[in-house]
A = this chain, B = another copy of it.
Amino acid sequence: MKTVLSSEKKTVEIGTGSPFVIIGEKINPTGRKKMAAALQAGDFDYIRELALSQAAAGADVLDVNVGVPGLDDVALMGQVVHLLNECVDAPLCLDSPNPKALEAGLQAAPRKPLVNSVTGEKERLEQVLPLVKDRGAAVIGLIMDDGGIPATPESRLAVAEKILERAVQLGIPAGDVVIDPLVMSVGADSQAGIVTLETIRLIREKLGANINLGASNVSHGLPDRPVINMAFLALAIGAGATCAITDPVKMTAIIRASDLLLGRDEYAMRYIKAFRQAQKLQAQSQA
């Protein structure tokens, strides 16, 4: 299955036949005080810099979350989407729990963005899927529903099936639904990683859907988080994941290496290009 996203200047294809797609996670104030302060102060230069640095480090798509308590997330989403559309080529991933903010983002974003996210919850399905359908966007389906996050790979598959079914009923192409199998921290639950990896395998086998990861959550509360995130990305790509919301500065190298090892990078060209770019960025940051 293929999911195609686009901005005015760039088309990104998500699928097992393509390189793994990197969705830059940093335009999000959750747990990032500097970003929250920038949104509060209307400091768009800071947001522009973050966008440019993520694109330079290998982000194919940029996630956009503007949720800060007390701020008008609907107005901000429209403004930030316009800003990003001017300064980077990457298609956008509109990230909000507020359907009104998603709607504002969908109005402001050109071509075909990704919506982050719908879940299997009744209300969420009813609020978000029509927006996605009307706008011809793609959507991330998070595997949770009114019963919470299912414990086993089989029960997670059932929620993924429900989300896909509802989307297709509404007229959204199945290929435009990217499933996110959810991962909890292995610091809190030693089985959290394997359950998510098995869910990825099951969804690829049974549904063939594209699979996204919120990859940084897996290491919450543990030391040396990047090494856990790297291992998780490699394992998840091996199991069939096709895109991730992650930090391109730290994770592009392991992702390009995984693609290479899985036979998806002829002559190692993308791997070597990413290595040279990382060297260039490092030299610039030290200059």
Measured CB to CB, the residues of A under 8 A from B are 186-187, 190-191, 193-195, 197, 218, 222-224, 227-228, 230-232, 234-235, 237-239, 253-254, 257-258, 260-263, 265-268, 271-272, 275
Q: A238-B238, A266-B190 are in contact. Are A261 and B231 (CB under 8 A)?
A: yes
**For the complex, what is the distance from the CA of A218 to the CA of B261, rounded to whole Å?**
9
**CB-based nearest B residue for A229:** B257
Q: A234-B234, A235-B235, A263-B193 are in contact. Are A227 and B257 (CB under 8 A)?
A: yes
B238 and A261 contact, CB distance less than 8 A: no
Q: A230-B230, A231-B261, A261-B231 are in contact. Are A197 and B268 (CB under 8 A)?
A: no
A227 and B239 contact, CB distance less than 8 A: no
B222 and A235 contact, CB distance less than 8 A: no
Residues of A contacting B: mostly: helix
**For the complex, what is the distance from the CA of A271 to the CA of B193, rounded to whole Å?**
14
**Using Cβ atoms and an 8 Å threshold, which residues of chain B touch A272?**
222-223
In the complex, the count of this chain's copies comes to 2
Pairs A–B under 8 Å by Cβ, sample size 14: A187-B268, A190-B263, A191-B263, A193-B262, A194-B261, A197-B238, A197-B261, A223-B275, A224-B275, A230-B230, A231-B254, A234-B234, A234-B238, A235-B258
**Which single member of B195, B230, B268 contacts A222 (CB below 8 Å)?**
B268
Q: Contacts A230-B230, A234-B258, A235-B262 known; list 14 others, CB within 8 Å.
A: A190-B260, A190-B265, A193-B262, A193-B263, A194-B261, A194-B263, A222-B268, A223-B272, A224-B253, A230-B257, A231-B254, A235-B238, A238-B238, A238-B239
**CB-based nearest B residue for A183:** B261
B254 and A235 contact, CB distance less than 8 A: no
**For the complex, what is the distance from the CA of A271 to the CA of B187, rounded to whole Å?**
10
